[in-house]
Structure 1
Amino acid sequence: MSETTSEATAAVDAVPSLYEWAGGTAAFEKLTEVFYREVLRDELVGPLFRGMDPGHPKYVAMWLAEVFGGPDSYSTERGGYAHMVRQHLGKAISEPQRRRWVNLLMDAADEVGLPDDPEFRAAFASYIEWGTRLAHANSQPDAAPPLEAPMPHWGWGVAPPYRP
């Protein structure tokens, strides 16, 4: 096999990032636009977001994109992990609010057509569950989370994308 052929085969066989598989920045921006539209209408989680910066959906899209293997825009433009943690301090997010946030995000993922294959959705749901539980804990009145930590990066976990 020639070097060119093996390079082409390697490129085809390379596992894409979750960011790439989801559809890139545009997919995450569409997701957060639809999601926050519904969040603001929701009686349970809406009050947490009333008066939010109009750029908030875009910032969350930047965060998700970076976490799932996309550009490091949230770190370079928004302050990375330290900034995100500070956004939750003192918010006293309840467990029902956390669970509703997760449900609304999963509904938005369906609505905007994020990939629905089991491998992607398992990895996506895993991060969302982990991240919201961390946000919940960090938001409590007595919380003292570390304010400096590396940006999380999420991958496929145990099941890479299925390709027939």
Structure 2
Amino acid sequence: MTDSIPTMYEWAGGAEALERLTEEFYRRVRNDELLAPIFAYMGADHPKHVAVWLGEVFRGPETYTKEQGGFAHMLSMHRGRAIQPEQRDRWVQLMLAAADEVGLPADPEFRSAFIAYVEWGSRRAMANSQPDAKPSSRETVPRWGWGEASPGTA
């Protein structure tokens, strides 16, 4: 008998859990004086798109790549936004608070890997958002696992 280790996507609760996370997160963003201006023009479907992104990152279905344009599309959404360190910090704070609020798994193994991606991804987004950012050589959505970073650059 072989025990298979669930993906982070499965452990989190799949698409439904990630949709709850992003809905709660963007509810907080809309009410945050530091972040609301960045997302002022976000469409009503933005939380759903981010949930699909996270699903693919956490080794769920490759829906973001198939339906949204993959890494290149996500990167284009951040280009030129000049995200500042205090905005990135708040983004992380609100994401972690939303994870608590919606009941994402609180076990240390999941939260450690989740926080690692949130930190890594938000720092890459901030770097890629700067006016002088060099184009990324990454072509695929990062695939995050238990205690491991996705290879390649972002």
TM-score category by the smaller chain?
over 0.9
Match of 2:59 in 1: 69
Deviations 1:80-138 (A, max 9, x none): 10000010000010000000000000000000000000000000000110000000001
Query: What amino acid is aligned across from residue 110 of structure 1 in structure 2?
Result: D
1:51 shift after superposition: 1.6
> In the comparison of the two structures, how many residue pairs are matched?
148
Greater CA radius of gyration, 1 or 2? Answer: 1
Alignment match of 2:94 (pick from 76, 94, 104): 104
Q: TM-score, normalising length from structure 2? A: 0.93
Structure having the larger proportion of residues in helix: 1
Is 2:76 aligned against 1:83? no
Q: Percent identity?
A: 58
| Aligned mates of 2:147, 2:24 — CA distance in 1 | 27
Partner AA of 1:55 in structure 2 = D
- The yes-or-no answer on 1:154 pairing with 2:154 is no
1:56 aligns with 2:32: no
Counterpart of 1:34? Answer: 24
CA distance in structure 2 between the aligned counterparts of 1:14 and 1:85, rounded to whole angstroms:
33
Q: Is this contact kept in 2: 1:22–1:114, CA < 8 A? A: yes
TM-score, structure 1 as length reference? 0.88
CA RMSD of aligned residues (A): 1.1
Distance of 1:144 and 1:62 partners within structure 2: 26
User: Would you say the 8 A contact 1:28–1:61 is kept in 2?
Assistant: yes
Of residues 1, 13, 20, the one that matches 1:23 is 13
Structure 1: unaligned runs, 5 residues or longer: 1-5, 159-164
